[in-house]
Amino acid sequence: AQTTITVAAGNNPADPVINKYIYSHFAEHLGRGIYGGFYVGDTSKIPNTNGVRNDVIAALKKMKIPSLRWPGGCFADTYHWKDGIGPKDKRPAIVNKWWGNAIEDNSFGTHDFLNMCELLGADPYMAGNVGSGSVQELADWVQYTTSDNKNPMSDLRRANGREKPWNVKFWGVGNEAWGCGGNMTPEYYVNEFRKYSTFMGNGNIFRVASGANVADYHWTETLMKGIPKGLIEGIALHSYSFVEWDKKGPATGFSEEQYFRTMKSALFMDSLIINHSKIMDKYDPNKKIALVVDEWGGWYDVEPNTNPGFLFQQNSMRDAMIAGATLNIFNNHADRVRMANLAQCINVLQSVILTDKDKMILTPTYHVMEMYNVHQDATLLPLTIKSDDYTFGTGKLPAISASASRDKNGVIHISLVNIDPNHVQKLALNLSGEKFKGVTGRVLASAKVGDYNSFAQPEKVKPEVFKGASVKGEVINISMPTASVVVLTLN
């Protein structure tokens, strides 16, 4: 058998643009995500710019990070932003109650984050505190960061050394309001949202409601029904991939069964988006409100001998499979999914970067994000796929995942994932009459799906030139290695 993919390559005005923000990231005050990950302080021997590691800045710029969500996560609903402004030695220390009771000295605050976003060329996405904050506190934060007028908050910003406002468009109105954000019912949260959102203003601002936990469709329905159109621009969704919540298993050295079940849970994202979108379509048929998947990724047991509250895990080719397949799902739903944030950027959960003091490594997930950046702001080309199966025991999953786009220069890119760790897959790709001279590509593969980059072997997994594609008439024949990610460019 063979997988066949047909790409509708014509210029159809109805094809949506793949919003670059689908490729966004998330950085919480959690473990070594901020401290030691992004930020080492400006007195550190590790080369830095205003305390932010230069190696990290260069890597994230190369990957083309479009947006970064901060400061949480659960931490956001305990965070009082005024603790993190002004002279660093005057900032209060607090206990980070969600994450290992670590002492948070607030040395990385609003200015540090927003200036860092400018260095990265990434648009900030701030998560406001609804759980333990106040409407006034969040409205003040918006004014402090975005107002150019004369008012108490912009005056305070100027007094703290920043004359011009930053460009902060994206705001989360709380996080996981159904859980760590306050254990609210959706009916209660709707009213909270309406109140907060009203006082945040509606200028150049994009307000994201705290969204459903995985398949909680009642949550989405209640929000869509209860929040007036002019108050909301996006609604969130959180869904992680794991074997079982209470028995996650290791990040490396996992069994094939654990691999299969993780992939099954990752591919469930497609059904989730379809079902949440159906509800959204009922109330918002013109798709004005975006679905923002602002937490996704693989979640495993922490590495042995590390703080369980720090969520530090290695990152293997399994994570590359999750990233490649999930990003294809997001691309293919670009009409509704207009932002997504991988959890989390550095040293926490499914990271793109791991650091150890002055050392930094790029994970297989980083390489997928970097290879896929060709899709950012390109036009989606819908495709139909008849895939072979990857079978394990009595279970089966489609072996191949794919998405395609045409960029602003007219160049077509196709991203493919073969999640089958045991079989090379033969694919026939049909471009429905599109003229092209040849095809080039890059591949991310390794002998085993459990392979990963370590500080001892930082380049075990890295992209190579792909030689497995050949053109025959109008068809591209492809041979995909086991457990691999390929991105093709049509010339």
Active site residues: 176, 295
420: contact with ligand AHR by CB under 6 A: no
295: contact with ligand AHR by CB under 6 A: yes
Residue 21 or 98 having the CB closest to ligand AHR: 98
Given 341, 344, 387, 484, the residue binding ligand AHR (CB under 6 A) = 344
The region of 66-74, 256-264, 270-278, 441-449 touching ligand AHR under the rule CB under 6 A is 66-74
Residue 228 burial (CB count, 10 A): 9
Q: How far is the CB of 175 from ligand AHR (least distance, A)?
A: 5
Q: Where are the alpha helices (DSSP H) in 356-412?
A: 364-372
Give the strand pairing for 469-472 and 475-480.
Answer: antiparallel
Joined together, the tokens standing for residue 460 give 């075990």
- What is the C-alpha separation between 224 and 218, in angstroms, rounded? 10
Residue number, nearest CB to ligand AHR = 73
427: contact with ligand AHR by CB under 6 A: no
User: Which residues 6+ apart lie within 8 Å of 332 measured at CB?
Assistant: 270, 380, 382, 383, 403
Residue 31 or 66 having the CB closest to ligand AHR: 31
The region of 67-75, 139-147, 281-289, 314-322 touching ligand AHR under the rule CB under 6 A is 67-75
Sign of the alpha-carbon dihedral angle for 200, 203, 209, 210: negative
Q: List the x/- string, 451-470, binding to ligand AHR by CB under 6 A.
A: --------------------
73: contact with ligand AHR by CB under 6 A: yes
Q: How far is the CB of 212 from ligand AHR (least distance, A)?
A: 13
Residue 96 or 373 having the CB closest to ligand AHR: 96
Q: How far is the CB of 65 from ligand AHR (least distance, A)?
A: 17
| Side chain identity at residue 453, one-letter code | N
351: contact with ligand AHR by CB under 6 A: no
74: contact with ligand AHR by CB under 6 A: yes
Give the containing element (helix H, strand E) for 120: helix 110-120
Q: Which residues pair with 70 in a beta bridge?
A: 126
Whether omega before 73 lies within 30 degrees of 0, making that bond cis, reads: yes
Q: How far is the CB of 225 from ligand AHR (least distance, A)?
A: 24
258: contact with ligand AHR by CB under 6 A: no
Residue 468 burial (CB count, 10 A): 18
- What is the C-alpha separation between 138 and 129, in angstroms, rounded? 7
The region of 71-79, 102-110, 281-289, 302-310 touching ligand AHR under the rule CB under 6 A is 71-79
Q: What angle do CA 288, 15, 285 make, to 5 degrees?
A: 30
> What's the longest Cα–Cα distance across the chain?
70
Q: Where are the beta strands (DSSP E) in 344-399?
A: 353-356, 359-362, 379-381, 383-386, 389-392, 395-398
| Number of amino acids touching ligand AHR (CB under 6 A) | 10
Given 77, 123, 176, 270, the residue binding ligand AHR (CB under 6 A) = 176
- What is the C-alpha separation between 213 and 481, in angstroms, rounded? 35
Q: How far is the CB of 368 from ligand AHR (least distance, A)?
A: 19
Task: Look at phi and psi of residue 316 and say left if phi exceeds 0, alpha if psi is from -120 to 50, else beta.
Answer: beta
Q: List the x/- string, 314-343, binding to ligand AHR by CB under 6 A.
A: -----------------------------x
Q: How far is the CB of 349 from ligand AHR (least distance, A)?
A: 6
28: contact with ligand AHR by CB under 6 A: yes
Q: How far is the CB of 156 from ligand AHR (least distance, A)?
A: 28
Question: Site residues (CB under 6 A) for ligand AHR?
Answer: 28, 72-74, 175-176, 295, 343-344, 349
